[in-house]
């Protein structure tokens, strides 16, 4: 039986997209967290631990950011950060479920941080409702106020209702300098950047100055590096 050309193209495209969404064979799961244990909070170093708590999510427990941290960064960058303490990586795939439960406005955001070497040197993606010079982009903090480095990005990201959950993924390829950010659709990035400043670092999440919930963290990498102690303290 001869397969119609249009069906063949669709089938081929679907295989390609599925392959892009999968984890490479040489990567292994190096960290996961579902926050079902109240001890899970000890996996993290926060800019201010008083504004984080184990809370209820859409499926069991989650980690919730409930207010603005009592923290003043040395250079303009996010206030609210929870860093995964014992996971130091070069290349990685970092996936997390997010619920932005604040009011709707242009900078309504949640963030993923990566390549964290210290409190003033890291990358982060600011996933926000409307893109501008300071929102909905990939940023570098390099001993100077955050600067957008995205080569591609969307005009904005819809968080939906205050009880909506989404899945985000950050992908880092150090040798190529590649950074890709995905949101719900793991086959098409919403942001891309190329930068080679930070070859390794810690991962984190939070918000510039909003609130939200975080759950079901999974991190894959070809190797894990030896961690050091203390970033924000």
| Average of per-residue pLDDT across 27-38 | 96
Residue 219, pLDDT above cutoff 80: yes
Closest C-alpha to 40, from 79, 80, 86, 98: 86
Predicted pLDDT of residue 232: 76
Closest C-alpha to 217, from 181, 180, 169: 169
Q: How far apart are CA 47 and CA 232, in angstroms?
A: 6
Residue 19, pLDDT above cutoff 50: no
Residue 140, pLDDT above cutoff 70: yes
Instruction: Give 18's pLDDT tier (boundaries 50, 70, 90).
Output: very low
Report DSSP state, residue 50: G
Tens digit of pLDDT for each residue in 188-202? 999 999 999 999 999
Share of the chain above pLDDT 90, in %: 87
Residue 168, pLDDT above cutoff 60: yes
Question: Are 63 and 96 in contact, with CB atoms under 8 Å apart?
Answer: no
| Average of per-residue pLDDT across 105-130 | 98
Is 96 or 2 the better-scoring residue by pLDDT?
96
pTM of the model: 0.89
Predicted pLDDT of residue 231: 81
List the beta strands (DSSP E) in 44-135. 44-46, 52-56, 61-65, 80-89, 92-100, 109-118, 121-128
Q: How far apart are CA 87 and CA 83, in angstroms?
A: 9
Q: How far apart are CA 221 and CA 34, in angstroms?
A: 19
């Amino acid at each position: 039986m001869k397969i119609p050309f249009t069906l063949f193209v669709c089938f081929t495209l679907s295989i390609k997209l599925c392959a892009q969404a999968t984890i490479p064979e040489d990567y292994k799961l190096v960290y996961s967290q579902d926050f079902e244990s109240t001890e899970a909070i000890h996996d993290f170093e926060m800019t201010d631990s008083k504004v984080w708590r184990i809370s209820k999510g859409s499926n069991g427990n989650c980690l919730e950011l409930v207010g603005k941290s009592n923290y003043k960064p040395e250079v303009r960058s996010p206030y609210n950060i929870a860093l995964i303490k014992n996971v130091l990586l070069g290349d990685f795939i970092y996936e997390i479920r997010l619920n932005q439960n604040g009011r709707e406005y242009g900078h309504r955001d949640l963030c993923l941080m990566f390549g964290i070497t210290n409190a003033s040197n890291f990358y982060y993606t600011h996933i926000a409702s409307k893109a501008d010079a300071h929102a909905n982009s990939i940023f570098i903090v390099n001993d100077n106020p955050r600067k957008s480095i995205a080569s591609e990005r969307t005009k904005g990201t819809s968080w939906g209702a205050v009880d909506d959950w989404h899945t985000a993924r950050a992908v880092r390829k150090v040798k190529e300098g590649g950074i890709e950010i995905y949101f719900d659709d793991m086959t098409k990035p919403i942001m891309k950047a190329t930068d080679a400043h930070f070859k390794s670092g810690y991962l984190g999440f939070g918000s510039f100055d909003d609130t939200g919930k975080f759950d079901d963290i999974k991190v894959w990498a070809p190797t894990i590096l030896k961690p050091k102690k203390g970033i924000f303290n």
